[in-house]
Amino acid sequence: MFRPLTRKNKEISRAECIEILKEEKRGILSVNTEGGYPYSMPMNHYYNEEDECIYFHSGRKGHRLDSLVFSDKVCFCVCEEGYCQEGEWAKNVRSVIVFGKAEIIDDINAVEDIARKLSYKFTDDKDYIESEIKKFSRATLLIRLVPLHICGKRVKEE
């Protein structure tokens, strides 16, 4: 069902893909809409090593959730900023694409646990994190992306 990478010499390992998913703070989540158009949005994410799933926080209503009720098939893309070799202008960039099924989770304990883990990707301010969780966790759902296919590549942008 999932196509292999065309340019095998650009492919990165699964371990590199996981590293990128763990380290990068945001990516683009794409869902399928009832109208047949894809709907893509930038999302903060948390890669959970325990179950090898990717988590997103979400409000309790909106276009994204309506689309996930319509179709649980999603695609998530993460791209790192990249780097330049000394003396070169072209960036070397790795990216990861994840195809999978999305599940909506409405469990306050899971919401608070993942929100806490996700927040620590952005700040170490425990008081701030706990305050935000206390204020917003009851109005929050989780989206769990269960990966069915993960692939990544490295390109030099020249």
- At 22-53, the pLDDT tens digits run 999 999 999 999 999 999 999 999 999 999 99
Tokens 């900023």 correspond to what residue? 81
137 DSSP assignment: G
**E strand map for the chain:** 26-32, 38-44, 46-48, 53-58, 73-79, 83-84, 91-105, 141-156
- Residue 100 near residue 146, CB atoms below 8 Å: yes
* CA gap 78, 41 in Å, rounded: 12
- At 135-147, the pLDDT tens digits run 999 999 999 999 9
- Answering whether pTM is above 0.85, one says yes
Which string of b and e fits 82-115 if b means at least 16 CB within 10 Å? eeeeeeeeeeeebbbbbbbebeeeeeeeebbbbb
* Helical spans, DSSP H, in 100-147: 108-119, 126-136
Specify the pLDDT at position 106. 95
